[in-house]
Structure 1
């Protein structure tokens, strides 16, 4: 078994003069201290299925590997010399969980110190001609440099009119096959750090290749190109490559913190759900994730995701990681996951509802810092603790009020669908307004500490969460009286206007709630009557929590329901009304 200061590297032997594609693959392995002065390349590829394997020779022994790995090894094998590589499938004993944990913890450094990463996008599809594939790559070079390749730089390059939609139809179809929509390389968690960390990379596609830096340059120029009818005709094809490349560039330039990175890339899959976390760790300095850093493959996904969420809270010194909507009862939801934890396994149907086709996925990520419900308070780190035995979060909180009214949850227009139409949303808002009006008409004035006469203003502000959003769900500032007037107009007419994004983004995640003392807000879709609104020191939004059934009051154990907007307490006003913070346990 390898120690924590060793790695195994692979010498890929030459093909001994035989036809390179037919010669059997032969390798020698070496165990070397790590870090090492030996130059080695790394591979980035999609494993493929473990049922689809082929035997190769390693140190004279037959070793099964996936056919996709065998394909790339044949492609990169040199004719007259040894090529030294590190490849996870062969350089880590996949049957030894302890070695696997040790080596996975080193993978960030392995990919950071490689001489070059070889990114394998697979063989060229049988229905794609070699000339179309090469011309597609030439077009990327053309966008990158703003000019054609020099004559003779590629023996396969052909003369194609890059100003013709029809002439590019075949090459763009070829590029489409290696983009996000059809090529699984872009959708695997491990390939994130494999593309981000190496100092140099080369993309391999069958017998063709292109430098990663060329694709990066093309992606950078593409975003700022003036309108071009030819390029626009193939916008989706180019977007499915260049948008992903730009995201990887942002990650390489450290523009994203751990929470943003985890949220942004959680759509990527992994054969082992634990790798949804372990595939991210190498992107950040040692110590960023003290709990998850051990890469323990004996943990359950529910425990690891909770540990990772606690690490995110401590790293960012913020409760933002628990303010992201917790998605329940989706096909990929992690069993037994605490409600406060970030579920990285939900990568397919990310959102339970869409409105007019939009999922507004970044809403809770981009708007959390617009508020300051906790006022001047901060997280009490002396009381903050993650309990791995209970898989629970211990911290402090202040209970403000109980929910007396929980409006009906949005429902899809058609059976078994999750999409809501503009007309359906307008009707739902009208129903909520009527429910609120009946509540306040029957509310005894002396039992409320809030001005119940102002509830209509709170209702309309709450629909927008008191912010104006742009089309990407980022705040442009507080909602104005004009924005509220437009919200009313939408409910009256059902016509799309400038408040469309603000209202729909909020309602994808929330429904109307009213507390016993008359606070009106919008809380998680699964909030119920009897749930409680809490202020958590250091939390910029109020949180809806539910007392656990069968628990004694002394334990203060609460089920986490989600973050909320409650009008009138979003800037710390409630801190003058609540009792001192007490110890609580979130499940």
Structure 2
């Protein structure tokens, strides 16, 4: 529409409607474009902000545009630009006026809401005199239409590659950003003039690296490049010191998942920051100078500090430029021309980076247009049930399966990135969730040169062999059972490997880690037929395992060189400086004076080493060992595996897999095949080059399935899982008599045995009730409090084996077959924040643990049956869940109910534990006493208290969490109406969502959402399944009177009792 006619349009300020004003008939082949009118075209009749009052008259002229549809095919496509930006939704309303032709033929100016970030971007990008045709996802896609959104998202790669230019909006000018943009531009142009862009190929990379690192000072190109570094080092140092470069790098655009695809598809892409515009390729060239100038910046006259230097490593553009270069070579068929697969892109964007996406499944969808294997994978965007975790878990599981099994680009090492805890509930154990900051794998494939440096499956078994499975949750793979884990060393936790500066304070930790590996190696060589028959192999194992036999070379990871063993001998020599009293302790248990002396000696030795090998070796250890635990298998293989692995876990190699993995066998089978829960990647010295495959005659090929960790064992008797745990614990007592001495020293042996004795529970409850609240907690507390700094850590721990709670009475009523017969007359949903711990955390101080309340918790919960975890699942042992909330954040009606239960010793007494919040370094030994009558003085102190409870406690009084100010307070607050199944006029409820703590990041915070409904039978419906309370009670009584166990169960009880007696006698003998 001509600009001169715009002033004749009547502005009605009605809301813009995509269906009537710009309907997209064929979203699979057509798309919308926006024509942004110049500032001079604004209408006097349009108020500031182009919508409801946005501000005052000082604001710039309002935004005015038109939206039209066009086919996404040449040559009929209209030339356009595309915008890449961050949505940044907020509460401030902003609008753009859209000139539209309505179905009745009239022209009107309609109002369309936009985010504040887009509002600012359009004001900066708008031309003063000429219209601009631009594609903007927020305005050109009907975001309320899931089907259209899915179709248009599938076209986004094509849209951005068809654009004449992509504008990357970083935001308004601030923090001296104009100077940073100008610096990038000047330096980038000088580097371009040198001509080194021709080396951006697989073949040219070694030459490029030599130039950047000044490998040959006499080379002409190197001299020119180094001269640029010298010339601008001062400006880079100044920009680092004043924080302007850091601020530029930390703009939110660099953390958004969608921008990767948008950045890479168009040859002409520019950064726009305020009023400054700059070719992105110039920023790439300048960024390399910035990175390699760091050595100059730490020297006089610039002398940047270590803290300031750390900012030099925070360049987020490297990943974007890597993806962009590979995509351009792929499109132009130059160099290696392979492009990036979806798996490679996911690694680049989410591993070790804080990339995020508001919609979880967009982590995948945002990269499809850039992935060269997108068509082969056959993944189609699906935006139905957008916020459903169950639907998202289903999508992520399907994506993982396709990436592993597809013929074009299938890779078993997708499994390397399945870590715990998951960011999405319901994900199978083998599925990566690609959360921000996903932990790196030690197996870093050189994607740029497609180089693999391990082949654990053997060269003859590189093809993935997928087995059919009965469920989409289960992955069936063929592979080799290597060996069973027999011994573990401490490690792989935050205590031993804190997130601190790699260059500072890690000497004792690294040496302690070496000592653990050496101790396992000494055990290995004492066994017959071990793989370390020669002194050379022993030395190799000693230096290979701590760094997973990988080495940082020219910015990429390669197989380590045997020459490293010379430098490792230096590390072993430093290890000899340790005091004898520290040999059997972790690094954090060392006395401060000893630690400081060792650090000084270690640094002295390192300063006097020849070359940089020792420094690099230490960095490689810190890089790979932080989330790995050294292990030894029954046949003597030495390696590193997941921090959560346990004795009895299995090391396996899958066909098509270049590294081994650790799995845990489950007691259920599928069609006669074993099933396993996936734990994580491993390095196992002696099998990394296909030795396991070559020894098929010695170790048969195994077929198995990776199953969800949520799968629990099924037994014909409801009591058998508990008794099986007693039997396992009994044998463990028999094997670890020496450890039990520590319990005796702490005067806790009697209590522990009483809490775990089958006869004790049979005598007190009439049936086997082994899993008291604190069985594992008592075990942990006894062990921890008895061990001093010079006593070896107990390596055994009760394994968590998830299983449904026996007699769980709170199934999800919303999934009941009876639910469809009812309708809600009132519904309430609310979310709460809490901290979630495991019993394993009782030995740690806040914020990672519950040590100040450990003794008090034991006192409160020891005699009470565990109420259950989320969804009625009991993880058993150390893995049981505990929640902690600030008491004042708990709804008042819940607080009153808890206090009433304690005051009158009602059935709910002991379900929740109320404690004071102790001063740092002090402990709590008793619950807060509840007064005989409620008082205002007692309530005033709620902000000084915490509430600790199991998730299962919530189910007992769930409506009280929601009842206040719900509109149906009378029904919600009457627990007599609350039941686990719907009934006419009753109340049902369930926790519909709970997040998981990011334990790998040292976090315990979670959020949970509760939903409750008052329901009634639908008109004309009858519910024949409703049973009277007397019927239910009678059936429960009959069930309780059945024989407690079969002969098999009785035999298990007998053996457990004998094992406990034997352990007790052994303790007496040693004493």
Specify the alignment match of 1:37 in structure 2.
Answer: 77
Q: 1:294 to 1:560 in 2, by over 3 A?
A: same
Q: 2:419 aligns with which of 302, 324, 327?
A: 327
Could you tell me how far apart the structure 2 residues matched to 1:33 and 1:9 are?
A: 10
Q: Does 2:510 align with 1:425? A: yes
The answer to which structure has the higher helix fraction is 2
Q: Residues 264-315 of structure 1, C-alpha deviation per residue, up to 9 Å, x if partnerless?
A: 2113111111111111111123645524344455473433333333333334
Q: Does 2:281 align with 1:281? A: no
Specify the alignment match of 1:580 in structure 2.
Answer: 701
Specify the alignment match of 2:789 in structure 1.
Answer: none
- Does the 8 Å CA contact 1:471/1:501 hold for their aligned counterparts? no
Q: How does 1:64-463 map to 2 (within 5 A)?
A: 64-125=113-174, 128=175, 133-146=177-190, 175-176=244-245, 179-181=248-250, 183-219=251-287, 222=290, 236=311, 240=315, 243=318, 246-247=321-322, 249-254=324-329, 257-258=340-341, 259-266=343-350, 267=353, 268-285=355-372, 287-288=374-375, 290-298=377-385, 300-313=391-404, 314=406, 315-324=408-417, 326-329=418-421, 333-345=423-435, 347-348=436-437, 350-351=438-439, 361=440, 363-366=442-445, 369-378=452-461, 383=466, 389-413=471-495, 421-434=506-519, 437=522, 441=526, 445=528, 456-457=538-539, 458-463=541-546
Specify the alignment match of 1:501 in structure 2.
Answer: 619
- Does the 8 Å CA contact 2:515/2:575 hold for their aligned counterparts? yes
Q: CA deviation at 1:460?
A: 4.5
**Which secondary structure state, in structure 1, belongs to the residue aligned with residue 267 of structure 2?**
coil
Q: CA deviation at 1:95?
A: 1.1
Could you tell me how far apart the structure 2 residues matched to 1:294 and 1:174 are?
A: 40
Specify the alignment match of 1:554 in structure 2.
Answer: 672
Q: CA deviation at 1:421?
A: 2.7
Larger radius of gyration: 2
Could you tell me how far apart the structure 1 residues matched to 2:517 and 2:559 are?
A: 26
- Does the 8 Å CA contact 2:81/2:135 hold for their aligned counterparts? yes
- Does the 8 Å CA contact 2:545/2:684 hold for their aligned counterparts? yes
- Does the 8 Å CA contact 1:379/1:538 hold for their aligned counterparts? yes
- Does the 8 Å CA contact 1:463/1:506 hold for their aligned counterparts? yes
Q: 1:175 to 1:297 in 2, by over 3 A?
A: farther
**Which secondary structure state, in structure 2, belongs to the residue aligned with residue 474 of structure 1?**
strand
Q: Does 2:33 align with 1:9? A: yes
Name which of structure 1's ranges 77-86 and 99-108 shifts more when overlaid on structure 2.
77-86
Name which of structure 1's ranges 561-570 and 489-498 shifts more when overlaid on structure 2.
489-498
Q: CA deviation at 1:552?
A: 6.1
Q: Residues 415-446 of structure 1, C-alpha deviation per residue, up to 9 Å, x if partnerless?
A: 986888320232243245435545765x5x4x
Q: CA deviation at 1:92?
A: 0.8
- Does the 8 Å CA contact 1:39/1:84 hold for their aligned counterparts? yes
Q: 1:418 to 1:402 in 2, by over 3 A?
A: farther
Could you tell me how far apart the structure 2 residues matched to 1:31 and 1:17 are?
A: 22
Could you tell me how far apart the structure 1 residues matched to 2:478 and 2:233 are?
A: 64
Q: CA deviation at 1:523?
A: 1.9
Could you tell me how far apart the structure 2 residues matched to 1:426 and 1:69 are?
A: 53
**Which secondary structure state, in structure 2, belongs to the residue aligned with residue 513 of structure 1?**
strand
TM-score by length of structure 2 reads: 0.46
Could you tell me how far apart the structure 1 residues matched to 2:290 and 2:630 are?
A: 43
RMSD after superposition? 3.8
Q: 1:196 to 1:552 in 2, by over 3 A?
A: closer
**Which secondary structure state, in structure 2, belongs to the residue aligned with residue 335 of structure 1?**
coil
**Which secondary structure state, in structure 1, belongs to the residue aligned with residue 39 of structure 2?**
coil
Q: 1:383 to 1:27 in 2, by over 3 A?
A: same
Q: Residues 127-169 of structure 1, C-alpha deviation per residue, up to 9 Å, x if partnerless?
A: x5xxx5544433222212339xxxxxxxxxxxxxx97959995
Could you tell me how far apart the structure 1 residues matched to 2:638 and 2:232 are?
A: 58
- Does the 8 Å CA contact 1:172/1:237 hold for their aligned counterparts? no
Q: 1:453 to 1:176 in 2, by over 3 A?
A: closer
Q: CA deviation at 1:30?
A: 1.1
Size of the aligned set, in residue pairs, is: 548
Could you tell me how far apart the structure 2 residues matched to 1:25 and 1:486 are?
A: 68
Could you tell me how far apart the structure 1 residues matched to 2:667 and 2:686 are?
A: 30
Q: 1:208 to 1:173 in 2, by over 3 A?
A: farther
Could you tell me how far apart the structure 2 residues matched to 1:414 and 1:380 are?
A: 39
Could you tell me how far apart the structure 1 residues matched to 2:414 and 2:80 are?
A: 38
Could you tell me how far apart the structure 1 residues matched to 2:313 and 2:363 are?
A: 27
Could you tell me how far apart the structure 2 residues matched to 1:44 and 1:225 are?
A: 30
**Which secondary structure state, in structure 1, belongs to the residue aligned with residue 433 of structure 2?**
coil
Structure with the bigger RCO (C-alpha within 8 Å, sep 6+) is 1
Q: 1:362 to 1:173 in 2, by over 3 A?
A: farther
Which ranges in structure 1 are unaligned for 5 or more consecutive residues? 148-161, 352-360
TM-score by length of structure 1 reads: 0.81
Q: 1:532 to 1:171 in 2, by over 3 A?
A: closer
Q: 1:282 to 1:374 in 2, by over 3 A?
A: same
Specify the alignment match of 2:628 in structure 1.
Answer: 510
- Does the 8 Å CA contact 2:339/2:372 hold for their aligned counterparts? no
Q: CA deviation at 1:43?
A: 0.7
- Does the 8 Å CA contact 2:180/2:248 hold for their aligned counterparts? no
**Which secondary structure state, in structure 2, belongs to the residue aligned with residue 556 of structure 1?**
strand
Q: CA deviation at 1:319?
A: 1.6
Q: 1:105 to 1:520 in 2, by over 3 A?
A: same
Which ranges in structure 2 are unaligned for 5 or more consecutive residues? 1-23, 49-58, 101-108, 192-230, 330-337, 578-597, 607-613, 709-1071
Q: Residues 490-514 of structure 1, C-alpha deviation per residue, up to 9 Å, x if partnerless?
A: 5335635253234333322422222
Q: CA deviation at 1:530?
A: 1.2
Q: 1:451 to 1:121 in 2, by over 3 A?
A: closer
- Does the 8 Å CA contact 1:175/1:237 hold for their aligned counterparts? no
Could you tell me how far apart the structure 2 residues matched to 1:418 and 1:219 are?
A: 26
Q: Residues 511-564 of structure 1, C-alpha deviation per residue, up to 9 Å, x if partnerless?
A: 222222332222222211111122211212222111124446824221111222
